[in-house]
């Protein structure tokens, strides 16, 4: 079977599940709203970073990106969905590639549009405090934010394939990002830059002191996502019907 009909079938699954479309909508609304609120923050703080402030809505928004990646995969494990899917597409690598494509493309497109909206909304509140941002820095922040959200969605998709459960993925990743990552970050110092979330978020800063830069940080997040996807594919090849 060619990849095109497999992609079409997987895209149809996403479009017909309201919960998946609603998750992407919440990603956009939450990220933009929190960035707009951050735009009214005190710009006189010593650690104030206008680019990170403008895009800080991605912190709560990334939960929706993680949920999207997890739900797209976990929907296959409800009932006998995975058996039907693999019966229709026996080439498991092709099916998995199509599944990842319908996660990556919408997450990237919505992430880019959301990052731009968040930046514009926050800049309205920041006013002159954001005048020091160059065009290149703002473009890098928007593009990097979109890529980061896509990678986190893929990371969640890989873990969900490995665990065969969206609940297990969400109960692992969300507490890690909201709590554990910050605790480890305070204790580990510069080593925390290599955590999957903190590495990717470096691209959101105008300036960042550390081992990694904006794009190398995203590369580290990409490696985490790739490792999760490879582990998930290994389980798909060996364990699923």
* Alpha helix (H) residue ranges in the chain: 3-16, 18-38, 50-54, 58-74, 81-88, 92-126, 135-163, 166-175, 181-188, 196-201, 214-239
Q: Which residues contact 11 (CB under 8 A, 6 or more apart)?
A: 102
* pLDDT string in tens for the chain (241-residue length): 678 889 999 999 888 888 899 999 999 999 999 999 988 876 666 678 899 999 999 999 999 999 999 999 998 888 778 888 888 888 899 999 999 999 999 999 999 999 999 999 998 888 888 888 999 999 999 999 999 999 999 999 999 999 999 999 999 999 988 887 777 766 666 777 899 999 999 999 998 888 899 999 999 999 999 999 999 999 998 875 5
Confidence (pTM) = 0.93
Angle (deg, nearest 10), helices 81-88 and 92-126? 110
Backbone angles phi, psi at 213, to 5 degrees: -100, -175
Question: Distance of alpha carbon 105 from its chain centroid, rounded?
Answer: 12
Q: Please name which of 31, 11, 29, 28 lies closest in space to residue 72, comparing C-alpha atoms.
A: 11
């Amino acid at each position: 079977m060619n990849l095109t009909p497999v992609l079409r079938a997987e895209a149809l699954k996403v479009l017909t599940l309201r919960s998946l479309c609603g998750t992407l909508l919440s990603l956009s609304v939450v990220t933009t709203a929190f960035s707009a609120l951050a735009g009214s923050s005190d710009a006189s703080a010593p650690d104030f970073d206008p680019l990170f402030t403008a895009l800080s809505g991605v912190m709560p928004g990334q939960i929706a990106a993680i949920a999207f990646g997890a739900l797209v995969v976990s929907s296959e494990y409800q009932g006998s969905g995975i058996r039907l899917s693999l019966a229709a597409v026996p080439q498991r690598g092709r099916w998995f590639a199509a599944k990842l494509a319908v996660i990556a493309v919408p997450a990237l497109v919505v992430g880019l549009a959301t990052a731009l909206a968040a930046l514009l909304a926050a800049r309205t509140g920041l006013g002159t405090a954001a005048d020091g941002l160059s065009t290149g820095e703002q473009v890098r922040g928007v593009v990097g934010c979109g890529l980061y959200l896509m990678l986190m969605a893929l990371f969640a998709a890989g873990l969900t394939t490995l665990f065969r459960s969206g609940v297990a993925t969400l109960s692992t990743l969300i507490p890690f990002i909201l709590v554990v990552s910050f605790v480890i970050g305070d204790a580990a110092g510069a080593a925390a830059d290599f955590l999957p979330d903190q590495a990717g978020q470096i691209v959101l800063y105008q300036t960042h002191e550390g081992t990694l830069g904006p794009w190398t940080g995203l590369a580290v997040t990409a490696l985490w996502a790739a490792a999760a996807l490879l582990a998930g594919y290994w389980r798909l090849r060996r364990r699923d019907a």
